[in-house]
Amino acid sequence: MTTDTATQDSAAPAATKKPIDKAVCICKKVRTNEFLTKVKAHKAYTIEEAREVTGANTGCGACYEYAESLLAQVRAEVGIT
Ligand code: FES
């Protein structure tokens, strides 16, 4: 007899503290971790600079607010207000 039913071991992720790597820009397929890594590596603290180094926010523009919010976090981390 096989009993492949009712196992609950795979659906719920473990309680980890890893940040969610959600999409920043759907048009250019840029995710949060990639965006932050490139912005920090290139010191691209403005949306114009971030567009150049990540490609994000160079399509429809719908991701502007989220990209700006990430940039604001990075600027705060490095002491730029
Ligand atoms: S979602 Fe980023 S430019 Fe369209």
Domain-located, residue 41: yes
Domain-located, residue 35: yes
Closest CA to 47 of 26, 27, 29, 25: 25
Domain coverage including residue 27: 23-78
Overall number of domains in the chain: 1
Q: How far, in Å, are 10, 12, 23, 44, 76 from residue 60 at the CA level? A: 36, 34, 14, 21, 27
Domain-located, residue 67: yes
Q: How far is the CA of 58 from the centre of ligand 1 (A)?
A: 6
Domain-located, residue 49: yes
Domain-located, residue 17: no
Domain-located, residue 14: no
pLDDT by residue (tens digit) across 7-45? 444 444 555 666 689 999 999 999 999 999 999 999 999
The H or E element containing residue 34 is helix 32-42
Residues 6+ apart with CB under 8 A from 42: 49, 53
Q: Is 54 in the pocket of ligand 1 (CB under 6 A)?
A: no
1, pLDDT greater than 60? no
Closest CA to 75 of 21, 36, 33, 32: 36
pLDDT of amino acid 9: 47
Q: How far is the CA of 41 from the centre of ligand 1 (A)?
A: 22
Domain-located, residue 64: yes
pLDDT of amino acid 6: 44
